Amino acid sequence: MRTDRFLMGKTVLPLLLAVVMAVPVFVRASQEGSTSPITIVLLGEKPRVREGARVSVLTQIAQQTSSILNARVVDMTVDKESAQATANRAAEALAAKPSAVIIFSGFADEAAGIADESVRKDLVAAARTFGKHDIPVFLVPSSTALGAAVSANLRLAAEESAATYVEPGTEIGGKPYEEALAEIAKKLAPAPTVAESSVLAPPVKLASEPPSAQTSGSVQVVKGTAVQTPATIYMVPPPALKSFDPRETPGPKRRIGRPKKPAIEN
C-alpha cells in the first residue's frame, strides 16, 4: 500500500508541476496576442493633394496610416486606378486578413470621364466584398481637387454598400488626409465603458409587512433607500416696523389746543 502511494506521488506530482508552469506561459501569450496592432489595407488609387496649380501624389499615405491608426498597413494602392480595377482586386485584398479597408477613388474616373453610375456600381461591389466578412470599409476621395458631383457620387456609393464615407480635411492646414485618418481612428476606437456604480441605482428591497399590520391576505411593501440631501436654509428678513408715535392711542382722537368759547345767544 505504501509502495502504491509512493509510486502515485512520483507520477502525479510532475504532472501537476508541468500544468502550473504552463499556465503563466499561456497567459503571457494571450496578453501578447491582445496587444497586437490591427491590420489596415489601403486599396484603390494613390491619393493626391493639390499644391498650388498642380496636383501631386501623396507618397507618405502608408506611413501616416500606420502612425495615426497604430496599425500594420498593407498598401495595395495603384496610381490612377479606376473603380472597376479596384473592384476586381477586392477579393485579393482579403488574403491580408484586414481589420478594416480604406478605399481611395475618384480622381482617375473623373479624368477619364467615366459615368457616375458605373463608378458607383463598381465601388459598391468592392465594398460589399469586405462587408460579407464584417470588415468595415471607409471610402475616401482620392484627391482634394475632386468636383462636388464626384464627391457626392462617392457618398452615395458608401450609403448603398453600408460603407463609411470620410471627407478629407481642408488644404489650409496642409494635412487633409491626416485629418481623414484621424476621423477613421475615432470610428475604429472601441466604445468607452461606463463604471457600473455610476449608472445603477441602489437595489430596492422587498419586505413583507408585519402580521400585526395585515388586514387580509399578504401585502408586500416596497422599501427603497431614502436619499439624503443636504438641507438648504433660506434666511427671510422680517418685515419693516411701522413708525410708532406714543401720543397716538387707540380710541377717538381728541383735539389738542385751546377750546373754543361757546356762542352767546341774545
Provide the residue count of the chain: 266
Query: What's residue 264's pLDDT?
Result: 64
- Report how far residue 261's alpha carbon sits from residue 72's, in angstroms, rounded to the nearest whole number: 123
Per-residue confidence (pLDDT) for residue 24, from 0 to 100: 42
How, if at all, do strands 137-141 and 164-165 pair? parallel
Cell of 178: 491626416
Instruction: Work out the pLDDT band at 215, boundaries 50, 70, 90.
Output: very low
Distance between CA atoms of 96 and 74, rounded to whole angstroms? 8
Amino acid code (one letter) for 35:
T
Confidence of residue 231 (pLDDT cuts 50, 70, 90): low
* Range of weakest confidence among 29-33, 87-91, 107-111, 224-228: 29-33
- Tell me the three cell numbers of residue 59: 507618397
Ordered domains of the chain (ranges, CATH): 38-188 (3.40.50.1110)
Burial of residue 121 (CB within 10 Å: 0-12, 13-18, 19+) is: middle
Phi, psi of 44 (to 5 degrees): 100, -150
143-156 core/surface letters (b: 16 or more CB in 10 A; e: else): bbebeeebbebbbe
Q: What pTM was computed for the model?
A: 0.60
pLDDT digit string, tens, across residues 95-114: 999 999 999 999 999 999 99
